[in-house]
Amino acid sequence: MGNGEPLKHQVAGERVIRVRPSRPLSGEVIIGGAKNSVLKLLAATTLSEGSCVIRGVPRISDVHTMLELLEGFGSRTSFANDVVEVVTPETLTPHAPYELVSSMRASFSVLGPLLARCGEAVVAFPGGDDFGTRPIDMHIEALQRMGADIEISHGYVHARAPVLKGASVTLAWPSVGATENIMMAATLAKGETVIENAAREPEIVDLAAFLNRMGAHVLGAGGQTIRVEGVSGLVPVEHTPIPDRVETAVFLAALGAAGGEITLSGAQPSHLRMLCDKLGEMDLRTSTTRNGLWAMSPNRLRSTDMVTLPYPGVATDYQPLLVALLSLADGVGLVTENVFPNRFGYVGELLRMGADIRVEGRCAIVRGRERLSGATVRATDIRAGAALVVAGLGAEGETHVRDTRHILRGFDGLVEKLAALGADVAWAEWSQPTVVS
Ligand code: UD1
């Protein structure tokens, strides 16, 4: 270069979320259907031949991944507005390829229903992810107790069971995924399956309601013991899933970061008790309305300690949002992660924004700051991505959240909904400056 100055130029743009400090939020936000429910309901459509219709489905890429998986089995799918129709043929090709299972772990929930319906299934063994290794031993052991012959080879789980038999299964931990896989497999098994120490999440109750509507006999979902009496066949149905409690938590956290008063229409307060209690300790007030939740937050919150636990405890999916909020609160908060001890990978991004967080094993010690400072950060997973957007609302200057594909996997219209509440959040074209000498 003539003057010895390096040449700065921009490379092709990337869609990022631009967040600026925001005035107090106000207005109404409508909460959509629960991602973690919808994905399992879609897996369950394989249990019967014919057309299932699911309404209130969020427009997120994880739903498209699940539909792609179902199409690979031979089902026909359509997704218009918020309605998904899945037409399942009489004969399925029960093969879930690695490309899809590795991009979305919930894909593994097809193992149980495929095995029950087809007598065999080949499903890619899910690899590690941002939460750590995430084993599937409980899924496998339970299906083996039900008479399945399971072999793991070349990165795939090969399961075979011409006849699945009801069995008594005690889970070592109330795993959501294992409970769902066993419950779905048991609907078409011979005899009764009893799941002890079952997960009690609202999404389990929703799946049980869907299965029962299809003609299954599932009793006790939402409690520690679930009983499933196998039936000889199921029929396709229509269903509307429960509201998304993690999406609700995102808007409550955004309110905590920006202050203000909002209503969350469609939210289900009975699913959110522990979260609302914790937020209450931080001075964010909530109350039940006819159609959801009302919430008000002062400009500054107080710190508190929290521990993630299976439902009805504080959900691990809320943890990054709560850490972001504690980074902006008065005092010191201790967050203990009991479900996925490695789920602090995103903390490095909050540190880039000036947060004061020390991670020690499964604990994060979060010292609140007066203000964070806007920075370019990367969404490391779905929930962490939303937490960075929340942090940006309480940061000086601009925050750019990159790798937004993670956010699009799990949240439908997050940016648009926040903007409608008055948050200064928008999609932006972000170009990486590169230096050419
Ligand atoms: C689901 C949710 C996820 C949520 C999590 C916990 C979906 C798509 N995902 O994930 O958003 O964070 O529940 O509420 O619904 N475990 C084993 N062996 C197993 C299965 C699980 O050791 O066979 C362990 C896991 O490593 C983890 C704990 O059990 O420590 C809980 O995992 P699990 O409840 O199964 O979570 P997911 O179903 O994967």
Segment 252-263, tens digit of pLDDT? 999 999 999 999
* Residues comprising the chain, all counted: 437
Question: Given this model, what pLDDT does residue 1 score?
Answer: 36
Index of the ligand 1 atom closest to the CA of residue 311: 14
Give distance in angstroms: CA of 174 to centre of ligand 1.
Answer: 9
Index of the ligand 1 atom closest to the CA of residue 176: 34
Q: Can 9-32+243-435 and 35-239 be said to share one CATH topology?
A: yes
Q: Is residue 417 within a helix (H) or strand (E), and if so which, with residue range? A: helix 414-420
Give distance in angstroms: CA of 199 to centre of ligand 1.
Answer: 10
3-class state of residue 126 by DSSP: coil
Condensed to tens digits (0 to 9), the pLDDT of residues 391-400 reads 999 999 999 9
Question: Given this model, what pLDDT does residue 408 score?
Answer: 96
Beta strands 292-297 and 260-265 are antiparallel
Index of the ligand 1 atom closest to the CA of residue 316: 12
Condensed to tens digits (0 to 9), the pLDDT of residues 73-90 reads 999 999 999 999 999 999
**Ligand 1: which of 62, 150, 339 to mutate, judged by most atoms within 8 Å of the beta carbon?**
339
Instruction: Write down the CATH number for the domain with range 9-32+243-435.
Output: 3.65.10.10
E strands along 117-257, which residues?
120-124, 149-153, 156-160, 168-170, 192-196, 217-219, 225-229, 238-239
Rounded to an integer, what distance in angstroms lies between the CA atom of residue 317 and that of residue 109?
18
Condensed to tens digits (0 to 9), the pLDDT of residues 1-15 reads 334 444 444 446 789
Rounded to an integer, what distance in angstroms lies between the CA atom of residue 216 and that of residue 230?
7
| Residue 434: both structure tokens together | 């590169």
Give distance in angstroms: CA of 104 to centre of ligand 1.
Answer: 13
**Ligand 1: which of 125, 129, 173 to mutate, judged by most atoms within 8 Å of the beta carbon?**
173
Rounded to an integer, what distance in angstroms lies between the CA atom of residue 332 and that of residue 4?
49
Give distance in angstroms: CA of 214 to centre of ligand 1.
Answer: 25
Give distance in angstroms: CA of 54 to centre of ligand 1.
Answer: 24
Condensed to tens digits (0 to 9), the pLDDT of residues 204-232 reads 999 999 999 999 999 999 999 999 999 99
Region 409-431: what's the mean pLDDT? 95
Q: Whose CA is nearest to atom 22 of ligand 1?
A: 135
Give the model's confidence band at 435: pLDDT under 50 very low, under 70 low, under 90 confident, else very high: low
* C-alpha pair distances (Å), 264 with each of 26, 32, 247, 291: 11, 10, 10, 8
Give distance in angstroms: CA of 315 to centre of ligand 1.
Answer: 11
Q: Whose CA is nearest to atom 4 of ligand 1?
A: 317
Give distance in angstroms: CA of 150 to centre of ligand 1.
Answer: 21
Given strand 363-367, what is the order of strands in its sheet?
306-308, 332-337, 363-367, 356-360
Give distance in angstroms: CA of 182 to centre of ligand 1.
Answer: 14
Give the model's confidence band at 131: pLDDT under 50 very low, under 70 low, under 90 confident, else very high: confident
Give the model's confidence band at 128: pLDDT under 50 very low, under 70 low, under 90 confident, else very high: low
- The ranges assigned to domains in the chain are 9-32+243-435, 35-239
Residue 133: partners with Cβ closer than 8 Å, 6 or more residues away: none
According to CATH, the topology of domain 35-239 is UDP-n-acetylglucosamine1-carboxyvinyl-transferase; Chain (3.65.10)
- On the question of pLDDT at 425 being above 80, the answer is yes
**Ligand 1: which of 129, 130, 176, 275 to mutate, judged by most atoms within 8 Å of the beta carbon?**
176
Give the model's confidence band at 127: pLDDT under 50 very low, under 70 low, under 90 confident, else very high: confident
Average pLDDT of the chain, as a whole number: 94
Given strand 149-153, what is the order of strands in its sheet?
95-96, 120-124, 156-160, 149-153
Rounded to an integer, what distance in angstroms lies between the CA atom of residue 156 and that of residue 147?
19
Residue 134: partners with Cβ closer than 8 Å, 6 or more residues away: 105, 126, 128, 340
Index of the ligand 1 atom closest to the CA of residue 138: 23
Residue with tokens 């995924």: 177
Give distance in angstroms: CA of 157 to centre of ligand 1.
Answer: 18
| 153 Rama sector, left if φ>0, alpha if ψ -120 to 50, beta otherwise | beta
CB 269 within 8 A of CB 293: yes
Beta strands 399-402 and 95-96 are unpaired
Q: Higher-confidence residue: 434 or 247? A: 247
Give distance in angstroms: CA of 188 to centre of ligand 1.
Answer: 24
Question: Given this model, what pLDDT does residue 194 score?
Answer: 98
Amino acid at 50: G
3-state helix, strand, coil in the chain (%, to 5): 35, 30, 35
Residue from 148, 195, 191 nearest 166 by CA: 191
Rounded to an integer, what distance in angstroms lies between the CA atom of residue 352 and that of residue 99?
32
| Residue 82: both structure tokens together | 């918020």
Residue 414: partners with Cβ closer than 8 Å, 6 or more residues away: 17, 250, 386, 389, 407
Residue 384: partners with Cβ closer than 8 Å, 6 or more residues away: 130, 320, 345, 346, 349, 406
Residue from 407, 400, 361, 412 nearest 384 by CA: 407
Give the model's confidence band at 134: pLDDT under 50 very low, under 70 low, under 90 confident, else very high: confident
Tell me the percentage of the chain whose pLDDT exceeds 70.
Answer: 95
DSSP-assigned beta bridge partners for residue 228: 193, 218
Question: Given this model, what pLDDT does residue 5 score?
Answer: 45
Q: At what angle do helices 202-213 and 176-187 cross, to 10 degrees?
A: 10
Q: Whose CA is nearest to atom 31 of ligand 1?
A: 175
Q: Which residues line the pocket of ligand 1, CB cutoff 6 A?
A: 36, 39, 105-106, 134-139, 173, 175-178, 199, 315-317, 339-340
Question: Given this model, what pLDDT does residue 434 score?
Answer: 60
What one-character DSSP code corresponds to residue 376?
A: E
Give the model's confidence band at 383: pLDDT under 50 very low, under 70 low, under 90 confident, else very high: very high
| Residue 344: both structure tokens together | 């602090």
Question: Number of helices (H) and strands (E), helices first, in the chain?
Answer: 14, 28
Index of the ligand 1 atom closest to the CA of residue 199: 34
CB 346 within 8 A of CB 380: yes
